[in-house]
């Protein structure tokens, strides 16, 4: 399967024939025929385009969180945060290097941000993480 573009919209190419091609909208699943001369083949991965059917907040969580412990950390920060590093280390079975590794990944994904918690360094979820968790729940 290949990815094509038509007037700025991306589609998955289902079937190509002489004058037109059957394409599928990855967000809605709707299929329709479009003229071949109006389609541009893109280098985008068809699977990455298909993943666009999942809203961004949920997609970001699904691609950034690799374990139940990491998901649990994100949920705890959303429900009880912001939490200081000291509180996180005292409450949960994480060593300092594990915590900082997980927090680093979540920050890189835009799901966690630094937060001041009573004069101590801590972490809280971002708005994107909150929307994603709400939808997943």
Predicted pLDDT at 120 = 92
Q: What pLDDT, on the 0 to 100 scale, is given for residue 82?
A: 95
pLDDT digits (tens, 9 = 90+) for 53-79: 899 999 999 999 999 999 999 999 999
Calpha distance 113→100 (Å, rounded) = 12
- Say which residues have a Cβ less than 8 Å from residue 27's Cβ, sequence separation at least 6: 52, 53
Q: Residue 79: what pLDDT?
A: 96
Place of tokens 């290949």: 2
Instruction: For the chain, give every domain's residue range.
Output: 2-53, 57-136
What per-residue confidence (pLDDT) applies to 84?
94
Q: Which tokens go with 25?
A: 């909208």
Fold of 2-53: SH3 type barrels. (2.30.30)
CATH hierarchy code of domain 57-136: 1.10.10.10
Under-70 pLDDT residues of the chain: none
CA distance 74 to 84: 14
Q: What is the pLDDT of residue 51?
A: 87
- Give the distance between the most distant pair of CA atoms in the chain: 68
């Amino acid at each position: 399967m290949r990815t094509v573009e038509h007037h700025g919209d991306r589609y998955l190419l289902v079937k190509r024939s002489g004058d037109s091609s059957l394409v599928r909208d990855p967000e809605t699943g709707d299929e329709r025929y479009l003229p071949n001369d109006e389609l541009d083949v893109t280098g985008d991965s068809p699977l990455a385009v298909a993943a666009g059917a999942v809203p961004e907040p949920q997609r970001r969580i699904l691609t950034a969180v690799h374990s139940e412990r990491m998901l649990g950390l994100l949920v705890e920060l959303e429900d009880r945060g912001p939490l200081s590093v000291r509180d996180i280390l005292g409450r949960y079975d994480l060593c300092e290097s594990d915590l900082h590794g997980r927090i680093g990944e979540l920050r890189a994904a835009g799901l966690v941000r630094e937060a001041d918690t009573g004069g101590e360094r801590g972490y809280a979820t971002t708005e994107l993480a909150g929307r994603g968790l709400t939808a997943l729940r």
